[in-house]
Amino acid sequence: MLPLATFAPTAGAQPAEPGASPYGPLADAPDEQGLLLPAGFTSRVIAVAGEPVGATDHRWHAFPDGAACFPADDGGWIYACNSEVTAAHTTEAAGGVGAVRFDAAGEIVDAYPILEGSTANCAGGPTPWGTWLSCEEALDGKGRVWECDPAGRDEAVAHLAMGLWRREAAAVDPDGEAVYLTEDEPDGLLYRFTPTAYPALDEGRLEAAVVADDGTLSWQEVPDPSAAERPTRQQVPGATTFAGGEGIWHHDGTIVFTTKGDDRVHRIDLAAQTHEVIWDGDPEALGVEGAVLSGVDNITVDPESGDLFVAEDGGNLELVVISAEGTVAPFLRIVGEGHEGSEVTGPCFSPDRTRLYVSSQRGPTPRRLDEIIPASTLTSANGGITWEITGPFRTTGPAPTTSSSASEADDAGEPGGGDDGVDVVPFVVGGVGIAAIVGGALAVRRRREV
């Protein structure tokens, strides 16, 4: 667990509260995959590290992490997923991003790499123009942002102008034409990158957030994004530090992000330029039976109901839903054998929101890690598993309110007003289309046709 940062929650912010899930309680017994799910939901294995994906010849990568889905031209979709293989696991740059292509019926028709030769690809974020931003949580503090084409038609590009640090995730604000980025350090910062010629990300201005005592927000430029002499987080005096930035999401004029060191979910109102804490968890409850939402990490939002799904790194190995009504409850729990020491990663919905994808990053695998990861000396058999969850995802949340108070407990801007005093701001996230990215080839990748 990361130590607490110096940042304190804004006075008057009202976090969401534990309560009943809109999907009901978890089942008493796990399914065949070792998952506890609500009634009406089922799971199937999509990919296992080291094994071929479906009937393809592509073997799935180890340590699956951040992910997103993108619509394809034929009515199917593409699932893009990071591989968080780091310098601690191998002497080679063996991270990257893999993709699984589904047809309109949800059957796997292809799988392939869309980024190779990178390291520690942790989380990231989809762009409105249909590319995947993969962020390196590099142990040397020089992590890059890679822009990847989910279809595999264009080479991935490292955008060095966006700075170098131990990264986690990214979220694009299409209205403000900026990208917001988290930093996975105990004293990490929240960054904003404003491209010179949006949506091209090859040039622009990098800034760090400064949160005042009253919650108002300002931004100061980072002098040297290349971090040639000093880490970026040490270049801006007065910048607000956060306890290990994790997942981040944008929607409807808001940014929501998590910090694992203090188990908080934060919300920024971009128009008002204000910050609030919408979930204030208990770091001491990590892994405690019955505790709700500890070890906050990746996040995603149901684009119709406005529910925020938060993955746990540790905790009770749950995917927790913060409903648009402001309640916090488990949606999924991993209880099968071999997942001890794992984490829940990469939750994301298919474009038609009929399926939810999620991984156990260090779940059990038939092959040992030294058989999956090049030049690795690790001999355990826990490379990770990726599942698909189907069921009756709800289609509506509460009616919108005019409140601008903090509750947006969701990845893209959500919370809401229930009886617990948390105002709800439901939102809808539109689909994104596949689009070619800017040119330049910095990573070897197999090209694919949609």
pLDDT, averaged per 10 consecutive residues of the chain (450 residues), comes to 35 68 97 98 98 98 98 97 93 92 98 97 98 96 98 98 98 97 98 99 99 98 98 97 96 90 94 94 67 90 89 94 92 96 97 97 97 92 98 76 31 33 30 26 33
Q: Which two tokens stand for residue 60?
A: 């799935």
Q: Which two tokens stand for residue 66?
A: 């951040």
pLDDT value of residue 437? 24
Q: Which two tokens stand for residue 284?
A: 């001491």
pLDDT value of residue 406? 27
Whether 387 contacts 336, CB under 8 Å: no
Alpha-carbon torsion 140, 144, 150, 155, what sign? negative
Tell me the β-bridge partners of 80: 68, 99
pLDDT value of residue 398? 59
The whole-model pTM stands at 0.86
The residue ranges of DSSP E strands in 85-197, in sequence order, are 96-102, 108-115, 121-126, 132-136, 145-148, 157-158, 167-173, 178-183, 190-197
Q: Which two tokens stand for residue 287?
A: 């892994």
pLDDT value of residue 16? 83
pLDDT value of residue 80? 99
Which amino acid is present at 371? Answer: E
N-term to C-term CA, the chain? 42
What is d(CA 103, CA 101) in angstroms, rounded to the nearest whole number? 7
CB atoms within 10 A of CB 4: 16
Which amino acid is present at 64? Answer: P
Q: Enumerate residues 6+ apart whose C-beta is below 8 A from 140.
A: 87
Tell me the Cα Rg of the chain. Answer: 20
| C-alpha distances in Å from residue 71, one per residue of 39, 74, 81, 152 | 28, 8, 15, 14
Q: Enumerate residues 6+ apart whose C-beta is below 8 A from 70.
A: 77, 78, 80, 126, 130, 132, 150, 151, 351, 432, 433, 434
Enter the DSSP assignment of 236: S
Q: Which CATH class is domain 48-294+391-424?
A: mainly beta
| C-alpha distances in Å from residue 200, one per residue of 159, 162, 194, 396, 438 | 10, 11, 10, 35, 7
What is d(CA 161, CA 227) in angstroms, rounded to the nearest whole number? 11
pLDDT value of residue 306? 84
